[in-house]
Amino acid sequence: MKKYEYPELGEVLYKERLANGLTVAVVPRPGFTKKLAYLVTDFGSVHTDFTLEGREVHAPAGIAHFLEHKMFDLPGDRDVSAELAALGAGTNAFTSYDMTAYYISCTENFEAALRLLIEFVSTPYFTEESVAKEIGIIDQEIGMNEDAPDSRVFENLVRCLYREHLIRVPILGTSDTIRQITPALLYDCHRAFYTPGNMILCVVGDVDPDRVARIAEEMLGSGEKSVGVKLRPWVEAMDAAGEDPTERMEVAMPTFQLGFKCEPSGRGVEAIRQEVIGDLAAEALFGESSETYLRLYEEGLIDSSFGGGFETIDGMAMLLCSGDSDDAEAVRSAILESGGKIAREGVSEQDFLRMKRSALGRRIRDLDSFDSTCFRVCAYHLSDFDYFRFPAVYQDVKAEELREFLGRVVRPERCCLSVIEPKEE
Amino acid sequence: MTQTIELLPGVTLRCFPDDRFKQGTLSFQIIRPMAAGEVALNALIPTVLLRGTVRHPDLRSITLRLDELYGAAVGATVRRVGDYQTTGLTCGFIEDKYALPGDRVLEPMLDFLRELLLEPVLHEGGFDPGFVESEKKNLISTIESDLNDKRVYAMNKMLRAMCRADSYGIPRLGTVEDVAKIDPVTAWEHYQRILRTSRVDIFYVGTAPAETVARLLMPIFDGIHRDYQPLGPQTPFHDAGGEDLVETMDVAQGKLCLGYVTPITNRDPRFAAMQVANAIFGAGMTSKLFVNVREKLSLCYSIGSGYYGSKGLVTVSAGIDFAREEQTRAEIARQLDAVRSGEITEEELRSAKEALLSSLRSTHDSPGAIEGYYATAALSGLAMTPAQYMDAIRAVTAEQVAAAARELRLHTTYFLKGETA
């Protein structure tokens, strides 16, 4: 495996693309007992439309998440969770809008656990019965989500903000769409996106990088397979699609999310550059060091639940903030006003340097977390960027870019305000 | 190796020298009895301290100072540890070697901690009234937001009924009424009193030598006239009788909570067996509840059990369809009976032990986990290091697990159901 060194971060990364197309990355952690492995596919809830071997497939909403649940079934009534548990390994998975990740963590028996992880993620096994049963389980999960104000307030926001992009549809799908899922569709998705060429395996821990690569090759073979081609029909105009949504729920106090549509971030270093600019702009606009935050907090319009940042998903990006407030409309006005002011006056060089130093320090501290590091190495790889090169990106961005970004994005026509109000007695 | 330094009577610094991390972590915890009269005050005080000091008088100047310290973080940490409540501040900051050449972080960080603890903005013999009012509002909204997560809400409702004669029945952050009553002068006087008289536990994980950390911390105590008053020991569950409760609300999914009591606490030689029994019964993806009630019977989306070793309580929480309440109750009882009668496979025993061992083994892999273990384990009455704890778990047999499970008695139940059910 090829070795890359990042002395200013005290990090080393081993990385290689195997003959079968799988990218393998290892972040050594000498002296630690924990080992964490992520196996990630570049396939999330927004990728329901694709071509496979010349044929168009349009799968129902929620299929990526459904597939994630069903990957834990293996032929012969085997129970993967139990087999991993017997090795002392924990396992879980999650589906986001644009990726699905499976992971194991353990302190012993790492190689056996890693083999199991690769085996179950690469072995599709779906039956009519198991699919029917899963519908019941996922329907419960959808029900639970419907009672969760944090999910509702976000789903309402993106549904009103976007016209085309499939972020409009919940990751879990709906009670109706999951009932359209069949074993044949699940096999299609697996064949299209669970091929090594569409995936990355990342391990963080005190392991031998070459052993990891050899195990992956043994388990997956050396031949490259075809990959499904995503159809990304969504072309979004940058104005908000609909009216501000409001819903009433059993909550103690009103809660809100405010989103501004941004241009999609592209790939490679440009993508992370956009993200760094977006994050710093969010800090200047409404972060804890901003005048706006202080004023809103002292006036009682926001409280310690307030926060936000820049979110990117395949094909879209958004500046987002959320919190509890009795007057979310006043929060929006203040943010719009502050955005206008920064767009006119810019950010001082001194403030800009301070924000960069702070953001950089936080990213360095985050490297202590196995999960955060493993996740980021994978997620940035999927947009063609080597995560450990982030310090150079911070050095490169200019204060002027923040001003340009805020002037372009923080505009009334680009935003929606989603509010959940308590039910009236 | 761990180094323990008694800085003053009742003030202990525990250092975990470690050069594997990019950040240093320091937590400063004041230990109080969990008592209805002060629980809300103790929860509020660290949040008021973080609002401003004489030199950094508002949130913005505090954040600017933390930005200069390379994005260091200081947060309020309030925990329930058996009959005690701990309250204080926890700091995370990059190791000096990642700062610009010549720049230092640890020393100014600890000086800033001293400033936060000892130089709050004061007004007429109390904390700043504006800070107190807005942090009261925050705390009330945190308490009320329990309602937003129906699982947490249901569990709290059950625990409060079950433990109405026990400190476990006192909400961790107090009640809305407790918070509303707080005034700036009482809060400041209470804070000065607890700084003077309480046990203080300080934890540091990082590369600096213990002596250096101790020296940098001493100025904090130069400003306090200590008059240490030790705490009583942890006590077992105080039983006021069980109840079966049902509540109706406009929700899509029902929440069923069951509370069991056991005489086995973490001071008991059977503690490890009880811990393993809980893991086999309901903790994790290989437990009987998960495998049977969720996976085989699809009775629920979520189900799990928890064991509170300092008190001897086991709880079960399940998210279910309203119509499946009786069926779920019966199935949970059946699974517990299976553990009690020793229907435990080799596989179940090994998986349960491995899950517990794995989490203990990796305690030393994160500064937060190191702080979390040592800040709570010993305090809650558990007199074992992670290594001793692991030995005890390895030694547990299936018979001991069954015997421990037979000590569980169903005490209180709670069901949250929808209005249409």
| Residue span of the structural domain in which A386 resides | 246-422
Task: Find chain A residues with C-beta within 8 A of B361's C-beta.
Answer: 33-34, 107-108
Cross-chain residue pair A360–B70, CB shorter than 8 Å: yes
Same domain, A316 and A370: yes
Q: Is the pLDDT of residue A380 over 50?
A: yes
Taking one residue from A and the other from B, the number of pairs with CB-CB distance under 8 angstroms is 183
Instruction: Using pLDDT thresholds of 50, 70 and 90, give the confidence band for residue B421.
Output: very low
Does A237 map to a domain?
A: no
Same domain, A18 and A132: yes
8 Å CB contact between A254 and A326: yes
Instruction: Note the pLDDT of residue B419.
Output: 84
8 Å CB contact between A167 and A157: no
Confirm whether A413 is a catalytic residue: no
Domain spanning B244-418: which CATH class is it, in words?
alpha beta
Q: Percent of chain B scored above 90 by pLDDT? A: 85
Same domain, A146 and A189: yes
Look up residue A23 and give its two tokens.
């990218």
- Would you call B296 an interface residue with chain A, using a CB distance cutoff of 8 Å? no
Task: Find chain A residues with C-beta within 8 A of B321's C-beta.
Answer: 140
A334-363 core/surface letters (b: 16 or more CB in 10 A; e: else): bbbebbeebbeebbeeebbebbbbbbbbbb
Same domain, A107 and A175: yes
Cβ-Cβ contacts under 8 Å for A192 (sequence gap 6 or more): A43, A50, A52, A57, A227, A228
Q: Which residue of B has its CA nearest to A149?
A: B148
Does A236 map to a domain?
A: no
Last residue of a domain, one of A230, A263, A297: A230
* Average pLDDT taken over every residue of chain A: 94
Give residue A300's region: left, alpha or beta (phi > 0; psi -120 to 50): left
Task: Find chain A residues with C-beta within 8 A of B347's C-beta.
Answer: 82, 86
- Would you call A91 an interface residue with chain B, using a CB distance cutoff of 8 Å? yes
Q: Is the pLDDT of residue A393 over 80?
A: yes
Cβ-Cβ contacts under 8 Å for A398 (sequence gap 6 or more): none
Q: Is the pLDDT of residue A108 over 60?
A: yes
Cross-chain residue pair A364–B294, CB shorter than 8 Å: no
Same domain, A408 and A302: yes
Does A311 map to a domain?
A: yes
**CA–CA distance, A373 with A375 (Å, rounded to integer):** 5
From A390, A243, A409, A253, select the one nearest A321 (Cα to Cα): A409
Q: Is the pLDDT of residue A65 over 60?
A: yes
Instruction: Note the pLDDT of residue B301.
Output: 78
Task: Find chain B residues with C-beta within 8 A of A30's C-beta.
Answer: 20
Cross-chain residue pair B347–A294, CB shorter than 8 Å: no
Same domain, A214 and A259: no
Last residue of a domain, one of A195, A230, A265: A230
| Residue in A10, A252, A304 nearest the CB of B147 | A252
Task: For chain B, give every residue range classified as CATH 3.30.830.10.
Answer: 3-222, 244-418
Cross-chain residue pair B285–A303, CB shorter than 8 Å: no
pLDDT in tens, B310-320: 999 999 999 98
* Average pLDDT taken over every residue of chain B: 94
B residues 28-87 closer than 8 Å to A (CB): 47, 58-60, 63-64, 66-73
Same domain, A68 and A217: yes
- Would you call A146 an interface residue with chain B, using a CB distance cutoff of 8 Å? yes
The CATH fold of domain B3-222: Cytochrome Bc1 Complex; Chain A, domain 1 (3.30.830)
Instruction: Note the pLDDT of residue B300.
Output: 82
Does A239 map to a domain?
A: no
Give residue A173's region: left, alpha or beta (phi > 0; psi -120 to 50): left
CATH of the domain at A342: 3.30.830.10
ipTM of the complex: 0.85
Q: How many domains, in total, are found in chain A? A: 2
Instruction: Note the pLDDT of residue B294.
Output: 86
- Would you call B251 an interface residue with chain A, using a CB distance cutoff of 8 Å? yes
Instruction: Note the pLDDT of residue A143.
Output: 87
Instruction: Note the pLDDT of residue A127.
Output: 96
- Would you call A252 an interface residue with chain B, using a CB distance cutoff of 8 Å? yes
A residues 285-344 closer than 8 Å to B (CB): 287-291, 293-294, 297-298, 300, 303-305, 324
**CA–CA distance, B73 with B96 (Å, rounded to integer):** 15
- Would you call B116 an interface residue with chain A, using a CB distance cutoff of 8 Å? no
Cross-chain residue pair A355–B291, CB shorter than 8 Å: no
Task: Find chain A residues with C-beta within 8 A of B365's C-beta.
Answer: 32-34, 370
Same domain, A340 and A408: yes
Same domain, A30 and A131: yes
* Ranges A225-239, A339-353, A384-398, B16-30: which has the least confidence: A225-239
Does A52 map to a domain?
A: yes
Cross-chain residue pair B149–A324, CB shorter than 8 Å: no
Same domain, A264 and A184: no
Task: Find chain A residues with C-beta within 8 A of B349's C-beta.
Answer: none
- Would you call B326 an interface residue with chain A, using a CB distance cutoff of 8 Å? no
User: Which of the residues A16, A68, A134, A275 is marked catalytic?
Assistant: A68
| Residue in A88, A143, A288 nearest the CB of B59 | A288
**CA–CA distance, B300 with B4 (Å, rounded to integer):** 47
Cross-chain residue pair B64–A289, CB shorter than 8 Å: yes
pLDDT in tens, B44-79: 999 999 999 999 999 999 999 999 999 999 999 999
Average pLDDT over residues B290-306: 87
Same domain, A190 and A289: no
Same domain, A131 and A8: yes
Q: What is the 3-state secondary structure (H, E, C) of chain B?
A: CCEEEEEECCEEEEEEECCCCCEEEEEEEEEEECCCCCHHHHHHHHHHHCCCECCCCCHHHHHHHHHHCCCCEEEEEEEEECCEEEEEEEEEEECHHHCCCCCCCHHHHHHHHHHHHHCECEECCEECHHHHHHHHHHHHHHHHHHHHCHHHHHHHHHHHHHCCCCHHHCCCCCCHHHHHHCCHHHHHHHHHHHHHHCEEEEEEEECCCHHHHHHHHHHHHHCCCCCCCCCCCCCCCCCCCCCEEEEEECCCCEEEEEEEECCCCCCCCCHHHHHHHHHHHCCCCCCHHHHHHHHHCCCEEEEEEEEECCCCEEEEEEEECHHHHHHHHHHHHHHHHHHHCCCCCHHHHHHHHHHHHHHHHHHHHCHHHHHHHHHHCCCCCCCCCHHHHHHHHHCCCHHHHHHHHHCCEEEEEEEEEECCC
- Would you call A74 an interface residue with chain B, using a CB distance cutoff of 8 Å? no
**CA–CA distance, B261 with B168 (Å, rounded to integer):** 12
Q: Which residue of B has its CA nearest to A304?
A: B138
Look up residue B290 and give its two tokens.
């998960």
- Would you call A238 an interface residue with chain B, using a CB distance cutoff of 8 Å? no
Q: Is the pLDDT of residue A251 over 80?
A: yes
Instruction: Note the pLDDT of residue A425.
Output: 62
